[in-house]
Chains A and B, each alone.
Chain A
Amino acid sequence: MKQEIALNINGDTHELLVSPNQTLLEVLRDNLGLMGTKRGCDLGACGACTVLLEGEAYLSCLMLAMDAVDKEIVTIEGLGGRGNLDPLQSAFVEQGGLQCGFCTPGMILTAKAMLSEEDHPTEDIIKKRMAGNLCRCTGYKKVIEALQSVSEQTAEEE
């Protein structure tokens, strides 16, 4: 039986008709047409479906859409303003932190959550926090370098 719910995505409120068994990932992509959040494995083992829920990194493939009610959700589409790139996005672009780009939205959002929670994270902490985001293309080196540069920049600005 479908139910009417309201979801807060990237600052906008959406009124939707969803089934209880729809995951947040399905609703984002199928109901809202927000295709930036990717389905890599659908079982929570790759991080490609990462979204921010109240600023924290969540696997949207293992979340019920109904469970996202009254929460602030941010997807990759919610980053950067007025067509600009978020510093994380820029760093990935400039430093080659992406190749095929499929894991990238998940990587960037996890990094965002991590950087908001960690004060001047070491390389080891960065690696540990990012270790739920799989990538088959880059070997991770340029991903970590991009994150470190943003982390250092943020530290400098403080």
Chain B
Amino acid sequence: MERELTVVGNRMPMLDAAAKAKGTAQFIDDLVLPGMLHGKILRSPLPHAKILHIDTSKAEKLSGVKGVMTGADIPDRKYGIVPKAKDEYALAKTKVRYIGDEVAAVCAVDPEIAEEALELIKVDYEELPAVFDPMEAIKEGAPLVHADVQKNISASIRKEFGDVEKAFGESDFIFEDTFYSQAVNHAPLEPHGALAQYDPKGELTIWSSTQIPFFLRRNLSTTLLVPESKLRVIKPKVGGGFGQKVDLFAKDFCACWFAMNLGRPVKFIYEREEVFIGTRQRHPVYLSVKTGLTKEGNILAQQFKAYADGGAYNSTAPVMITLMGFFLMIPYKVPNLLHEGYHVYTNKPVGGAMRGHGIPQARFAVERQLDMIAERMDLDPGEIRIRNSIHAGEPHPAKFVINTCGFVDTVKKAAEGIGWAQKRGKLPFGRGVGMAGGSFPSGVSNMSHISSGAVVQLGRDGAVNILTGAADIGQGAETVIGQIVAEELGVLLEDVRVTAADTGITPLDPGTFGSGVTVRAGNAARLAAISVKNKLFEIVSEKLEASVDDLVAEKRKIYVKGSPDKGMTLSDALKTYQYGDHPMPIVGRGSWMAPTTEPTTLLKENGNFAPNYSFMTQAAEVEVDPQTGRVKLLKMAAAHDCGKMINPLLVEGQLEGSVVGGMGQALYEDVIVEKGQVMNPSFLDYGFPTTMEMPEIEAIEVETIDPLGPFGAKEAGEGTQVSPAPAIVNAIYDAIGIDFMEMPVTPEKILKALEEKKK
């Protein structure tokens, strides 16, 4: 920008913060429509069974029940977030595949009657043998979760960059280790929900607590057999998603179905138990890593094998299993990589996108091993990371284009922030420090639906209206987009209003996943703002007798670069525009898609996969109580390079939330499953951290200015959750000298390991 930034880069409250603090922000369950009915879903109590017969007659007769539906009523159209991996129906048609699988739905005049009605539905099942472990599921003779998927492997990838065999041959040291990362639930505070309304003209409107309004529209269109043009998806305020609200769910389909058939609005809100069992979770993964290095500690080759426990359906399977490996190519230079990944069906709850989407699991394995390698080779963990860092502008083994990379700085600063030099290996038994690096793409290019559009309207009174498809789920996407536009147009943030995520009004955006919103939707909005600015500048330049290129817009003024008195207020400029017989408002459009250097698909060739990449290192200090096994995360020094921070307050918010989320995964959380049944589907028994578990968090910025990000920005939403867990487990090694190869590292495991160590 040709002047100092006045909005971008500021710590600013979210545009809707006051509404949220007042309790007036409307979430899905806050929406009420006249005549609204309430829906509930009947779920399978068995992990694997044929549906022989469903008797809904008693439920239908219950006074107040307006509709009952089963899988037999719905079109034979499968859906799935990834087009080639569609394997689900909203309600099971022939068999159920996990405890929680949807079998029937009712709607009634109130939720109490709907609940009663569920109890009156009688389902006759024929139980089938079930499989609960992916390593068992791939064996010959294992029960098949989906009849047409051999060995229960629904997605797989084998991708080699370079020649690992040769590189291992040249390595001075080779290390092979196996790891396990557990099932984690996103546990957003707001349960999933949807409200559908049918217009006699044949238009269906659905409000849904979703991260993907446009994908949802597409999937609903396919499964309901309703054209997209007749379907409008509106995202209300969303109370957290973290990836769990990426997908079409039974509540979306059934709300629409009932609304269409009954001509009344229908709302479905999941119980917390349903969120735990019947939505998505982070895939548990068995990982093995083989790394070859020179004696100086430079990585020559890495061979990575992952078996992801996918649960009963695909969700994002092919994407997840691929991303896991591909993003091992950042932040370290891995000249030769072989990635083998398998997504395996089991008769358990479904794995899907969760903050980091496979990368946290892979990063856990790699960062743990890197520390173990450092120990074995007598190298400092920080040093080995710096030695292997990729650098901006250097050719990349997989042909990623790295324009900015602050990784080395993040290692140094995180180490400094935790007091590495004074503490590593030097603290009394039970205290220790550890670190882990990480990197994340700002949205992945080269998938379908990867462009974003925006419209910016500048009104007669200087008020700006932005239309964006971006789905704000609490991270502040609308605010960031607002800041970008306000900066570009030279107005204040308070002059801006954002209308977002309504497929009937706003331009398309793929949705909030893959951490691409700031870059993709932000760039689109910026382009739209530039378009508006140029139109206004055309008129103003005439008035000021200057060229368009010499004009600057700032704080509701437009002036000539270098001569701030030679200008006019925005208000006057708009008057001039309007009285010059130009239509108001001034409208600009923009759309943006990450440029690709070569044509690539995720599976075929090397090439760049993201417009830019964030880099981070987190360094943890832990304290272990040998009497109880309790591990307390005392402090996390988190250094991150997310390019230009559009709003440092929001970036910090992402970072702090991620650190605690990563801590939860490392130490506290586990979806405990016994024979396919989730044993802890409640906020009481699935214990994610409270204020009592809070660590001290030091956020350290390493700012780079990326050429492709809006004002230089890169992602800050998911990458932040890639490093905390391994940093903590690495610190545990420093504290008590025990290498943990799996998460969570619970007090139970600590006590057991300490006892064994004594022997």
The reply to whether A45 and B690 form a contact with Cβ atoms under 8 Å apart is no
Who on chain B is nearest to A22 by CB? B112
The reply to whether B189 and A127 form a contact with Cβ atoms under 8 Å apart is no
When distances are taken between beta carbons in the complex, the residues of chain B under 8 Å from A121 are none
Interface: B657 (CB within 8 A): yes
The reply to whether B649 and A127 form a contact with Cβ atoms under 8 Å apart is no
Who on chain B is nearest to A21 by CB? B112
The reply to whether B13 and A96 form a contact with Cβ atoms under 8 Å apart is yes
Interface: A2 (CB within 8 A): no
- For residue A140, give the distance in angstroms from its CB to the closest CB of chain B: 5
Digit string of A64-99 for contact with B (CB within 8 Å is 1, else 0)?
000000000001110110000100011011111011
Instruction: Give B1-28 interface residues, CB cut-off 8 Å to A.
Output: 11, 13-14, 16-27
The reply to whether A92 and B21 form a contact with Cβ atoms under 8 Å apart is yes
A51 and B192 alpha carbons, distance in the complex (Å):
23
When distances are taken between beta carbons in the complex, the residues of chain A under 8 Å from B474 are 99-102, 137
Interface: B148 (CB within 8 A): no
Interface: A112 (CB within 8 A): no
Evaluate whether A134 and B22 lie within 8 angstroms (CB atoms) in the complex, with A41-B683, A101-B16, A142-B652 already known. no
Who on chain B is nearest to A34 by CB? B23
Evaluate whether A85 and B21 lie within 8 angstroms (CB atoms) in the complex, with A137-B657, A139-B659 already known. yes
The reply to whether A140 and B22 form a contact with Cβ atoms under 8 Å apart is no
The reply to whether B13 and A94 form a contact with Cβ atoms under 8 Å apart is yes
Binds A, one of B237-245, B393-401, B583-591: B237-245
The reply to whether A100 and B659 form a contact with Cβ atoms under 8 Å apart is no
Evaluate whether A136 and B475 lie within 8 angstroms (CB atoms) in the complex, with A46-B683, A101-B237 already known. no
Interface size in chain A (residues, C-beta < 8 A): 54
Who on chain B is nearest to A36 by CB? B23
Binds A, one of B56-64, B375-383, B407-415, B691-699: B691-699
A143 and B25 alpha carbons, distance in the complex (Å):
19
Evaluate whether A139 and B660 lie within 8 angstroms (CB atoms) in the complex, with A45-B683, A128-B692, A131-B690 already known. yes
A45 and B649 alpha carbons, distance in the complex (Å):
29
Evaluate whether A138 and B20 lie within 8 angstroms (CB atoms) in the complex, with A40-B683, A43-B682 already known. no
Interface: B186 (CB within 8 A): yes
Evaluate whether A136 and B656 lie within 8 angstroms (CB atoms) in the complex, with A40-B190, A42-B271 already known. no
Interface: A108 (CB within 8 A): yes
Interface: B71 (CB within 8 A): no
Instruction: Give B232-281 interface residues, CB cut-off 8 Å to A.
Output: 237-240, 242, 269, 271-272
Interface: A18 (CB within 8 A): no
Who on chain A is nearest to B189 by CB? A102
A71 and B653 alpha carbons, distance in the complex (Å):
37
Digit string of B166-191 for contact with A (CB within 8 Å is 1, else 0)?
00000000000000000000111111
Residue from A46, A80, A85, A90 having most chain B Cβ neighbours under 10 A: A46
Interface: A150 (CB within 8 A): no
Interface: B30 (CB within 8 A): yes
Interface: B661 (CB within 8 A): yes
The reply to whether B21 and A104 form a contact with Cβ atoms under 8 Å apart is yes
The reply to whether A98 and B21 form a contact with Cβ atoms under 8 Å apart is yes
The reply to whether A131 and B13 form a contact with Cβ atoms under 8 Å apart is no
The reply to whether A100 and B690 form a contact with Cβ atoms under 8 Å apart is no
Interface: B734 (CB within 8 A): no
A93 and B14 alpha carbons, distance in the complex (Å):
8
- For residue A39, give the distance in angstroms from its CB to the closest CB of chain B: 7
- For residue A117, give the distance in angstroms from its CB to the closest CB of chain B: 17
B239 partner, pick from A76, A96, A102, A139, beta carbons under 8 A: A102
Interface: A33 (CB within 8 A): yes
Interface: A103 (CB within 8 A): yes
The reply to whether A93 and B272 form a contact with Cβ atoms under 8 Å apart is no
Who on chain A is nearest to B23 by CB? A36
Interface: B29 (CB within 8 A): yes
The reply to whether A46 and B189 form a contact with Cβ atoms under 8 Å apart is yes
A142 partner, pick from B656, B661, B684, beta carbons under 8 A: B656
A45 and B272 alpha carbons, distance in the complex (Å):
11
A45 and B690 alpha carbons, distance in the complex (Å):
11
- For residue B186, give the distance in angstroms from its CB to the closest CB of chain A: 7
When distances are taken between beta carbons in the complex, the residues of chain B under 8 Å from A94 are 13
When distances are taken between beta carbons in the complex, the residues of chain B under 8 Å from A141 are 652, 656, 694, 697
The reply to whether A76 and B23 form a contact with Cβ atoms under 8 Å apart is yes
Evaluate whether A101 and B21 lie within 8 angstroms (CB atoms) in the complex, with A128-B692, A137-B240, A143-B691 already known. yes
When distances are taken between beta carbons in the complex, the residues of chain B under 8 Å from A142 are 652-653, 656
Instruction: Give B621-671 interface residues, CB cut-off 8 Å to A.
Output: 649-650, 652-653, 656-661
When distances are taken between beta carbons in the complex, the residues of chain B under 8 Å from A35 are 23, 26-27, 29-30
**A-B contacts, 26 listed (Cβ < 8 Å):** A35-B30, A42-B271, A45-B682, A76-B22, A76-B23, A77-B22, A77-B23, A79-B22, A80-B22, A92-B17, A93-B13, A99-B240, A100-B190, A100-B239, A101-B25, A101-B239, A104-B20, A128-B691, A134-B688, A135-B189, A136-B242, A138-B656, A139-B653, A139-B656, A139-B697, A143-B691
> Which are the 6 A-B pairs with shortest beta-carbon distances?
A36-B23, A100-B474, A101-B20, A102-B239, A76-B23, A139-B660
Please report A residues at the B interface, Cβ cutoff 8 Å. 29, 33, 35-43, 45-46, 48, 75-77, 79-80, 85, 89-90, 92-96, 98-105, 108, 126-128, 130-144
Other than the given A139-B660, A140-B691, 4 more pairs (CB < 8 A) read A40-B189, A96-B13, A102-B240, A104-B23
